[in-house]
Chain A
Amino acid sequence: MAKTWPKVDLPDYPDQISADPRQLSITSEELLKMYSAMRLARTFEEKLAALYRQGKIFGAVYLGTGQEATSVGTVSQLQDGDLFSTVARNLSAWFYRGVKPEHVLARWFGKDQAPSNGRELGLFLADLNEYGIFPYHNGSMASWIPAGAGYALAFKMRKQPNVCLCFTGDGATSPGDFYEGVNFAAIHKLPMVIICEVNQFAYSTPPHLQMPVKHVADRAAGFGIYTETAFGNDLFTVAAAARRGIEHARKGNGPALIEFKTFRRCGHGEHDDMAYVSKELRSFWEERDPIAMYRRWLVERAGIEEGNLTKIEADCERRTDAAVEYAESVPFPKSETVVERLFAPSPHDPTDDDRNRGVEPIESPAIPALTAAQDRSAGGGHF
């Protein structure tokens, strides 16, 4: 018996980018930078998947194939001093911000590469100073929404005109942490922007089993915050929606929740064959691949010479190959370092002198009693 899927209502998203290049004030250099970041992520991830299948990667591999426009379109709108967090599928955002592919791959290989030095998976990076990527707890993708509120609180306390941007997903709008973080940020009008990539499946669970409303944006009403829903595979639609959300937050108007409809074109991890996704849905989104759409627009609408793009594509291949070479050359962390860096040094860490304090007596011990009347201690009353 042939497998059947629940009926999917396909949205009416276009299969080409609609922006008029004459209306966009973006230099061709910037256009190519965005293409390069998206293309590098795709090439890098294809290589990563191949290495995984060859058994050269420890653990699982998670890819962001199909979500490159949401990542790059959004982070292209950040300014100096802004912070952001990513999920496993925002590699193109890292590359746009200058993270080196060879360093990423060395971490995937479990090598002695800063800042995690083998302690954390390759898909999780925090580097406040270099890239503005804040440290987060990745047990659940909702769990860093409270952290995002904390960074936004820090900006507000310092009267610093920056925003904190948190990528998350549709499934992550179900746990309580999402609400606790948004609630706190909304109460204090904190400059936090949530970018919710609705990629159609939380692992295998579709949105209609994840939430009783049609859009993540519908959830924003409970907090009275700014929200938008937009097509996530059109780079310029993404950039414009992200910009409006970021500006709203930067002006001190409180958090923004920007929802992008997109599609995870690969499994949750490379171990997942996506048997739960209908062919119809796959084809619909394959025809709307964000990189293919953007490439077509660059050549057909923006007048970019195809040769420039093939050069970038060759460069992405070269950089990916070089990343493999580099990652293989980096040594593994020494096993004896495993207990290092558990605690940061602190000003009052004990010294040998501290250990000779003599007897420090308790003159009149406080003893709980059965009744207040029996209480012999200095207090009185139970509290």
Chain B
Amino acid sequence: MSQTTYLQAISDALRAEMRRDPNVFVLGEDIGVFGGAFKITQGFLEEFGSDRVIDTPISESGFVGAACAAATVGFRPVVEFQFIDFIACAFDQIINYAAKCYYRWGIPMPVVFRGPTGGGIHAGPYHSQNPEAWFAHTPGLKVVLPSTARDAKGLLTAAIRDNNPVVYLENKFLYRHYREEVPDGDYVVPIGVGALRTTGSDLSIISYGAAVHLCVEVARTLEKEGKSVEVVDLRSLVPLDRETILSSVKKTGKALIVHEANITAGFGAEVAALVAEDAFEYLDAPVRRVASLDVPVPFSPPLEMAVLPSVDKIADTARHLLAY
């Protein structure tokens, strides 16, 4: 075990898999000589050479299509998007090539699409988005969002070894703002298993990604008010750990869903529907959601903080539910 940042955990997992398996290679913009905009791949070019650490032209659709193809003939490419916002430029290849290949012809495509998501760093509309719902809505893609350094390592290891396209969404605020003890050596977190961040009996807060941190803070605040809150971290949206969601809600009778992406048609709506369909008789209050407002993520700090979910916004809604 060693104290590791979320960013270092991603880097460590990627390096370990590249050492373990010569078929793993990475490609993306400025990942070689520069070591990546956030330095995930710093030192990789020196260690693995330019065949396996490929600085691409600025053409996401081109290098994503190429990576997908290489994945069907024995390679395990890991594509870095400099900011996840630019994944929109490769949308067609991911939706229409990667997601459907195995279903169409039974040819597996083990490729990872990873990159930094999220706001809170005052980067404006094109460097702050949370695109998970776009991909969770497309059959054939796994969608993973680690909230901790341990999960960042364990889920990336699982994603690279997975035989399917995996959209691995990192949070850029957590990169250097979160560190914890991370197991050394081989460490895998299976894709499709949620985590309990706190246990409790009065309210379930279901979340994923960086928003889990806000929810844990809320659980601590409410604990001081004598309330017992359970925080469920989904970790992956596809496959979805329905059992963990339902068993928590059946225990507490109240569900609050929190994510950083904007609220309308966000993944929280899917979780709310699941709870309404399969745990209705256990509910003692309406299912509620806290998420970003339905606007692009603005630049100016007061505007940005007004858009994003916060500890206060979540705590207010949680108190309302607890009092219901």
User: Interface residues, chain A, CB within 8 Å of chain B?
Assistant: 114-117, 119-120, 124-128, 134-137, 139-140, 143-151, 153-154, 157, 176-177, 179-181, 183-184, 187, 341-351, 354-355, 357-368, 370-371, 375, 377-383
Contact = CB atoms under 8 A, between A and B. Distances in A.
Interface residues of B, number: 87
Ranked 8 nearest A-B pairs via Cβ = A146-B65, A180-B62, A150-B69, A368-B120, A137-B97, A150-B66, A379-B177, A365-B213
A148 B70 CA distance: 9
A343 B258 CA distance: 28
Contact of A350 (B148, B150, B190, B216): B190
B93 interface: yes
B214 interface: yes
B182 to A, nearest CB: 12
B104 A343 contact: no
Contact of B176 (A157, A362, A380): A380
A350 B235 CA distance: 13
Interface stretch (B129-137, B158-166, B273-281, B316-324): B158-166
Contact of A146 (B5, B61, B163, B197): B61
A135 B104 contact: yes
B64 interface: yes
Contact of A144 (B51, B65, B174, B177): B65
B195 A360 contact: yes
A119 B106 CA distance: 10
B45 to A, nearest CB: 15
A134 B69 contact: yes
A105 B73 CA distance: 27
B102 interface: yes
Contacts of A371: 301
Contact of A363 (B65, B180, B188): B180
Interface stretch (B11-19, B139-147, B262-270, B287-295): B139-147
B131 to A, nearest CB: 19
Contact of B61 (A151, A177, A359, A377): A177
A342 B177 contact: no
Contacts of B206: none
A149 B139 contact: no
Contacts of A181: 62, 65-66
B65 A150 contact: yes
A183 B210 CA distance: 37
Contact of B63 (A157, A184, A347, A370): A184
A109 B53 CA distance: 45
Contacts of B42: none
B243 A147 contact: no
Interface in B48-84: 51, 56-57, 59, 61-70, 72-75
A362 B121 CA distance: 21
A366 B66 contact: no
A329 B241 CA distance: 42
Nearest to A365: B213
B122 A382 contact: yes
A358 B193 CA distance: 12
B126 interface: no
A127 B105 contact: yes
B100 A346 contact: no
A379 B69 contact: no
Given A116-B105, A350-B191, A355-B244, A365 B92 contact: no
Contacts of A149: 62, 65-66, 69
A128 B72 contact: yes
A128 B96 contact: no
A115 B108 CA distance: 12
Given A177-B61, A343-B142, A379-B176, A368 B66 contact: no
Contacts of B140: 342-343
A342 to B, nearest CB: 6
B234 interface: no
B311 interface: yes
B106 A346 contact: no
Given A344-B163, A362-B147, A362-B213, A146 B93 contact: yes
A357 B235 CA distance: 13
Contacts of A117: 106
Given A183-B59, A343-B142, A366-B210, A147 B193 contact: no
B297 to A, nearest CB: 12
Contacts of A382: 121-123, 173
Most buried by B among A124, A140, A370: A370
A23 to B, nearest CB: 38
A168 to B, nearest CB: 13
Contacts of B208: none
Contacts of B191: 346, 348-350
A366 B104 contact: no
B179 interface: yes
A219 to B, nearest CB: 16
12 contacts: A126-B107, A137-B65, A143-B92, A149-B65, A184-B66, A350-B192, A355-B241, A364-B180, A366-B213, A367-B217, A377-B178, A382-B173
A213 to B, nearest CB: 21
B269 to A, nearest CB: 22
Most buried by B among A125, A381, A383: A383
Given A135-B101, A180-B62, A360 B150 contact: yes
Nearest to B50: A188
